[in-house]
Homo-oligomer: A and B are copies of this chain.
Amino acid sequence: MSTFHIPYQSLKEFTKSIFLEIGCNHSDAEKATLVLLSADLRGIDSHGVARLSGYVRLWDAKRVNPNPVMKIIHETPSTAVVDGDQGLGLVVAPFAMQVAIEKARNVGTGWVSVQNSNHFGIAAVHSMMAVNEDMIGIAMTNASALVAPTFSTERLLGTNPICVSIPAGVQPPFVADLATTTAANGKLEILQRNGGVAPLGWIQNKNGQPTTDPFELKKGGALLPLGGDREHGSHKGYALGAVVDIFSAVLSGANYGPWVPPFPPYIPMPENQPGKGIGHFFGAMRIDAFRPAEDFKKHMDAWIKRFREAKTADGYSNVLIPGDPEREMEQERLQAGIPLMPAVVDDLKSIAVRFDLSHPFNA
């Protein structure tokens, strides 16, 4: 299958031009672009420009406000709730994370729950904002329901990711970014495209039985919580996904559980929604709020070194530190360009035609 490689800079200019077309100001268009493309750079292809047309469709459906007036609607010295005013999550999330960072600067830590937002891209890019400030960053979000709790046949939770980013000294930061499911939805989409078979433990069919057919997801099946089944700890993945949902939405006043707005606007909005938009949750903890930053970094380096040098099982060359694969991918793609599937390129071209914009996809 032929794949296009687009230079990062070209993709960035094109993406920004789209955000400008839907009415974002320059600063927000720039911010949204950097957040969206961080997914493509880090190899999380499902969350990058492949979703750009989805954001445009949300704007068409008047579910995204390109000029949100984001504001703090409740706060204490270490907490805040932010109303995202229906803005792009790509813009609301950095705003809220910055509030968390400012609070951490003042009182050691900051914790911000967000209502009335939309899909925020990848969690890592937001939580990593804290690392540059010598803080630990935490980011999570709820998402529309695709996941069945243990023992259930109903989809009640999103893939609800948690990301924790931790600064080190000479070592690169530790960045753990994980959906609270066995497999992220993006992996199932790839199997659906390629006609592949899913490992047992990723999905169930509409009756709650294990299945390997990725298309069962479109026939009333569900993704499974991390663990896969009860015997392998799926109740733990369910509990973690539930915590993300509650921190993101019950604390903030966003929608939770099965009421979270779906990303594709052609799926009807759930009825009797209990809150506003999608919810996120962010945290920032100054490392020197616990011990001198240099001490922390020295021990974090020692931690990373010990794990990186661990003995490996046959067939594996080294033990990875969370964040390693994505950082290596980013270096590679900054050099070699970002590979895009033909279907994604066609999608981006059609947005360019619609807005009468030049585009970098003529190769």
Q: Which residues of A contact B (CB under 8 A)?
A: 74-79, 81, 107-109, 111, 113, 149-154, 156, 164, 166, 174, 176, 178-183, 199, 201-202, 204, 207-209, 226-228, 231-233, 235-240, 242-243, 245-246, 250-253, 256-258, 274-275, 285-287, 289-291, 295-296, 299-300, 302-303, 306-307, 310-314, 316, 318-320, 322
Contacts and interface: CB of A to CB of B under 8 A. Distances in A.
A75 B108 CA distance: 8
Contacts of A77: 77-78, 107-108
A207 B311 CA distance: 10
Nearest to A183: B233
Contacts of A256: 299, 303
Copy total for this chain: 2
A149 B108 CA distance: 31
A156 B304 CA distance: 12
B232 A111 contact: no
Given A78-B78, A79-B290, A307 B246 contact: no
A163 to B, nearest CB: 10
A207 B252 CA distance: 47
A207 B151 contact: no
A102 B361 CA distance: 58
Given A111-B109, A322-B239, A149 B307 contact: yes
Contacts of A303: 245-246, 250, 256-257
The 6 nearest A-B residue pairs measured at CB: A208-B313, A76-B108, A176-B239, A151-B316, A79-B108, A77-B107
